[in-house]
């Protein structure tokens, strides 16, 4: 296994769990599940199951990585107000259907959180060949076709810069909280593995940044994703 260090920066990001409702919060940093997708995207590795299904599944043979996430600088949280247009379930709003002439006729207000000034270190522990493929992908040396651009949690939000470093910069690394641990400032729940067919099988963990920033992540900061081998 080899270690790869990536630094990713974006002016805006959003990492939301599967949710509904008027207020839709975001995690304050990139979760391991999103870091996993970003690494595979940079490596040009398709993670979608080719079998046609109503819900796009993750392939069962994707590489399994150990990921560590560190905040290089603190982020801020902003909110965005939106009107969501949809087709309702059931008979709600049927009286508006004729007036929209086939367009979506159910409008619901929602407020979504955005992470401002994302600057994170991503530690990756994987096979040496995969780490080298990520480096080549960032240099634009991969000839393989790949799906889409790497984005910061929402496909409207793009990274300013993703770079591979020889050594990580100083960061406050996120480590999991175990049952019985004392509360820690900045604690949040981060997703580790996503199951799009059954959200009850999506895995997550309560994390918090360490108090003192350091260059290399502590051992407990490393997390298997999308699932342990």
Token duo for residue 192? 């580790």
Residues 77-89, mean pLDDT to the nearest whole number: 84
Separation of alpha carbons 67 and 70, rounded Å:
10
Q: Is the dihedral of CA 149, 228, 24, 108 positive or negative?
A: positive
Question: Cβ-count burial of 173 within 10 angstroms (0-12 exposed, 13-18 middle, 19+ buried)?
Answer: buried
End-to-end CA distance of the chain: 14
Task: Specify the DSSP element, H or E, that contains 49.
Answer: none
Q: How does pLDDT run across 87-99, given as a tens digit for each residue?
A: 777 777 788 788 8
Separation of alpha carbons 156 and 151, rounded Å:
7
List, in order, residues 6 or more apart from 68 with CB less than 8 Å away. Answer: 121, 122, 123, 173, 174, 217, 221, 222, 223
Task: Name which of 67, 2, 63 is nearest 223 in CA terms.
Answer: 67
Strands (E), the chain: 2-13, 23-24, 65-71, 76-86, 106-126, 161-165, 172-176, 188-193, 203-209, 223-225
CATH (one of 3.30.60, 3.30.70, 3.30.1340, 3.40.50) for 2-80+114-225: 3.30.70
Q: Give the count of beta carbons closer than 10 Å to the beta carbon of residue 137.
A: 22
Q: How does pLDDT run across 123-135, given as a tens digit for each residue?
A: 999 999 999 999 9
With a threshold of 0.85, does the pTM exceed it?
yes
pLDDT surpassing 70 at residue 115: yes
Token duo for residue 30? 């990139």
pLDDT surpassing 70 at residue 66: yes
Task: Name which of 155, 148, 162, 77 is nearest 119 in CA terms.
Answer: 162
pLDDT surpassing 70 at residue 147: no
Band (pLDDT 50/70/90 cuts) for residue 47 is: confident
């Amino acid at each position: 296994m080899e270690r790869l260090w990536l630094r990713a920066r974006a002016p805006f990001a959003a990492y939301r769990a599967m949710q509904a409702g008027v207020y839709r919060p975001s995690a304050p940093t990139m979760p391991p599940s999103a870091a996993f997708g970003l690494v595979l995207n940079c490596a040009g590795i398709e993670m979608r199951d080719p079998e046609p299904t109503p819900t796009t599944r993750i392939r069962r043979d994707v590489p399994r990585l150990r990921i560590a996430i560190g905040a290089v600088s603190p982020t801020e949280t902003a909110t965005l107000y939106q009107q969501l247009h949809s087709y309702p379930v059931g008979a709600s709003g049927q009286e508006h259907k004729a007036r929209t002439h086939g367009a979506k006729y159910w409008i619901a207000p929602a407020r979504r959180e955005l992470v401002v000034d994302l600057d994170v270190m991503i530690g990756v522990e994987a096979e040496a060949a995969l780490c080298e493929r990520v480096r080549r992908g960032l240099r634009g040396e991969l000839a393989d076709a790949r799906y889409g651009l790497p984005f910061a949690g929402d496909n409207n939000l793009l990274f300013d810069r993703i770079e591979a470093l020889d050594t990580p910069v100083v960061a406050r690394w996120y480590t999991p909280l175990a049952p019985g641990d004392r509360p820690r400032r900045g604690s949040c729940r981060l997703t580790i593995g996503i199951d799009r067919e059954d959200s009850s099988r999506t895995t997550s963990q309560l994390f918090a940044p360490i108090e003192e920033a350091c260059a290399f992540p502590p051992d407990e900061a490393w997390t298997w994703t999308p699932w342990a081998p």
